[in-house]
Amino acid sequence: MMRIGVDVGGTFTDFCAIGADGRVQVAKTPTTHYDLSVGFMKGLRQLAREQKSEIGTLLGQVESIRYSTTVGTNALLERSGPKLGLITTAGFEDTIFIGRARAWADGGSVEANRDLARIVKPAPLIAPDMVVGVRARMDYSGAVIAPLDRADVLEQLQKLVDRGAMGFVVSLLWSFVNPAHEQEVRRIIEEEYPEDYLGALPVFLSSDISPKGGEYTRTMTSIVNAYIHSTMADEMNRLGNELRDAGFARPLVLVHSTGGTKKLARTRAVLTHSAGPVAGLYGAALIGRISGDANIVFTDMGGTSFDIGVIAGGEIRAQDFIPVIDRWRTNIPSVEVKSIGAGGGSIAWVNREFGGALEVGPRSAGSMPGPACYDQGGSEPTVTDADLVLGLYNPDNYLGGAMQLDPELAREAIDEHVAQPLGISVVEAAWRIRRLVDARMGQEVFNEVALKGHDPRRFTVFAGGGAGAAHATGIAPYIGADRIIVPPIASVSGAFGAATMKISELWEKSCRLRIFEWATQQYSADVGTFNTVVAELTDRAVRDLQLEGYAREAMHFDLDLEMRFGSQYNLTRIRAPRLQLGSADDYRQLGELFVRRYGEIYSPEATFLVGGINIESFCLNAWVEAAPYAPAEAAAEAAEPAAPARTGARPVCWHPEQGFTETAVFDYAGLRPGNRIAGPAIIEARETTYVIEPGWSFRLDGWRNGILERTAPPDRPAAAEAGR
């Protein structure tokens, strides 16, 4: 059976189909923002045509469709979600409006956060008049201080209904310890306002969505989930109907930011945030295991954004414990992947407020109207327009000839918006646009790797995304990398990752346990609470996965613990060696693992054992192994010339001082394992274009990965190489 991964991007929707024999097919279609199902079905039909079959025949061979979507994020950006009501503890109605001390900076751009005189907090997702408080109270241990008053709940609930609430979020104090009051509020709502009275108005409990400490982040996580739920449900239902009409009888599977996939019906909407980049990171880790690259910095340059992730020692370790979704800080578990507004569709503009400086992004032309050269009505210059003017792209062979580009429209856009305002030529303007976006991406990559305690020079750059292979050699010098890998699925890395990920989800619970006492300098011997919490999470995980249709014997479990030294704020996550503990010696082992991991991140001198060690929360990852990706055996590499794959030459500008240089052009499909090409050169594939700058060489390995290696010292300017 075949697995299909789908990654919906801001510009293109990517598809990757993997057969049982390891054969891979890819496709790209423009993202249809007005109705994502249109572009989705178009991509499936494209895959079917390549198999010379009908779409129904294709879907009959598909085991699962793994879908990563931006629908929920778009609902936040556009503020198109439903009108919600928030039920909280009386006296705490202003929690989400007060926020955190730096709530005004969450999710803001660097430029906006620097402008302190004009910065403002974002408009809340729930208006103040849609927040009510009920008189009930739990204490920190989960004991009831004030019982819930049904009449009070009904009174407050009626206010929200009268004001037009289309859904309810319930977030009461200490509900993550004892959810009884929240569960009772839900029962009251469902009894008083059944579906046949008000329709299907969803009720979201913070103890279900985010059973973790942190009043503000727990409430905001629940609100964000509720806000994007209905939009996602509508879009996914429409997509599901399209698939059923086409003959696909299996449930749709969604990719999660936690690094796994789960059926649509069992997915919390908030967990789909950043699913595409996370899937791409997992795909890069799989490629790294095959190619032998243990240290990889994952990059994905698409049409709208540039994504970065770090794989160290073959593992994805970086976790974002309080990720920001749009402008809202949440506490969902998430693999850490950074995204910035830099892609092929990023718009170049002159910032007159800062002395006429050239800027690239964060605004993007998207798929509609797209770059000026798309000839779809776009008039602003983009990175793609600049690459086309420099001769890096073939206007007649973009996306394998499926899309024609207009170089003249690109030149006109760059001339009007960049060249004339700066008083430079169109070619120099295009070169500056390319170098500026490369520098911005390169600096962000350096920061992501170096600030995690790694030496960037020891990492291989994974160049993913449709524009990744075209800009990889421009990014690498900023981190001192000498090796770049561009696999054959690079342009659809998110879709490839989705197709190869396992079924999994995380179950979390906050529970503070002091395992090393600062007063006695001894490890605790009380392991009962630890084992009770883990057993509770395990029971929930087994029940949930059994509802997905998986047997208990097929399930695997990993336990992560968020720990810190006593009185410390920051958390450090470690992997527990076992699920159940037996004695104080097991706590000692956990403590030693924590101290070692803390020292790796912050240096051994920063450890502070005498301050005590606390476990703050538990995170159980339950997973079912997917069918392994089994690519065909690597072909033998032969030292034969690449000349048969050469299709000609065209003028390319590597530096404006050198003008245009006739540069060899090769067809990727005609290359054979072992072929080597010295830069400067261009290699054209159906979904991407490899740009091999001067000072770099290209080699095709047995897996058909493009390996780019530096041949000139990193401090040698490209202009000097181009003039040789």
Q: What is the DSSP string of 369-409?
A: T-SGGG-SS--S-BHHHHHHHTT-S-TTSBTTTTB---HHH
Same domain, 531 and 593: yes
pLDDT tier, 220 (very low <50, low <70, confident <90, very high otherwise)? very high
Dihedral-angle region of residue 308 (phi above 0 means left; psi in -120 to 50 means alpha; beta otherwise): beta
471 occurs within a structural domain: yes
Q: Which of 589, 624, 659 is the last residue of a domain?
A: 624
Nearest to 566 by CA among 528, 513, 619, 617: 513
DSSP state at residue 315:
B
Q: Is the pLDDT of residue 719 over 80?
A: no
CA 262 to chain centre: 16
Domain end marker among 581, 598, 624? 624
Residue 528 lies in a domain: yes
pLDDT band for 714, please (50, 70, 90 cuts). low
Q: pLDDT per residue over 385-419, tens digit each?
A: 999 999 999 999 888 787 889 999 999 999 999 99
Q: Are residues 467 and 565 in the same domain?
A: no
Residue 60 zone, left/alpha/beta (φ > 0; ψ -120 to 50; rest): alpha
Q: Is residue 692 part of a domain?
A: yes
Q: Are residues 595 and 684 in the same domain?
A: no
Rounded to whole angstroms, the Cα distance separating 137 from 378 reads: 56
Q: What is the DSSP string of 201-239?
A: --EEEHHHH--SS-HHHHHHHHHHHHHHHHHHHHHHHHH
- 594 and 649 in a single domain? The answer is no
Between CA 528 and CA 547 the distance in angstroms is 29
Q: Is 511 helix (H, G, I), strand (E, B) or coil?
A: strand
In three-state secondary structure terms, 433 is helix
**In a shared domain, residues 640 and 620:** no
| Whole-structure pTM value | 0.87
Strands 646-655, 131-134: pairing kind: unpaired
Q: Is 665 helix (H, G, I), strand (E, B) or coil?
A: strand
Residues 535 and 527: their CA atoms lie apart, in Å, by 12
Task: Write the CATH number for 569.
Answer: 3.30.1490
DSSP assignment letter at 502: P
Statement to judge: residues 661 and 714 lie in one domain: yes
- Indicate whether 319 belongs to any domain: no
CB 524 within 8 A of CB 515: yes
Cis omega (within 30 of 0) for bond into 673: no
pLDDT tens, position by position, 355-373: 788 998 888 887 678 899 9
Question: Across the chain, what does the average pLDDT equal?
Answer: 88
What is the mean pLDDT of the segment spanning 110-131? 84
Cα distance between residue 333 and residue 505, in whole Å: 10
Closest CA to 717 of 353, 392, 474, 402: 474
The residue range of the domain holding 532 is 503-624
- Residue with more model confidence, 382 or 402: 382
**Look-up of token digits 């990852």:** 621
Q: What's the mean pLDDT in 106-126?
A: 80
Residues 614, 546 share a domain: yes
Residues 643 and 715 in one domain: yes
- Tell me which of 559, 594, 624 is where a domain ends: 624
User: Are 479 and 568 within one domain?
Assistant: no
Distance CA 13, CA 11 (A): 7
Judge whether 509 lies within some domain: yes
Say if residue 508 is in the same domain as residue 619.
yes
Q: Do 586 and 652 belong to one domain? A: no
Burial of 434 (0-12, 13-18, 19+ CB in 10 A): buried
What are the pLDDT digits (tens) for 587-641?
A: 999 999 999 999 988 888 888 888 999 999 999 999 888 777 777 777 888 888 8
Answer whether residue 539 is part of any domain.
yes
Question: Could you tell me if 660 and 692 lie in one domain?
Answer: yes
pLDDT tens per residue, range 479-532: 999 999 999 999 899 999 999 988 888 888 999 999 998 888 999 988 999 999
Residue 519, domain member (yes or no): yes
Does some domain include residue 152? no
Number of domains the chain contains: 2
Q: What is the mean pLDDT of residues 537-560?
A: 90
Residue ranges of the alpha helices (H) in 392-492?
407-414, 420-422, 426-450, 468-475
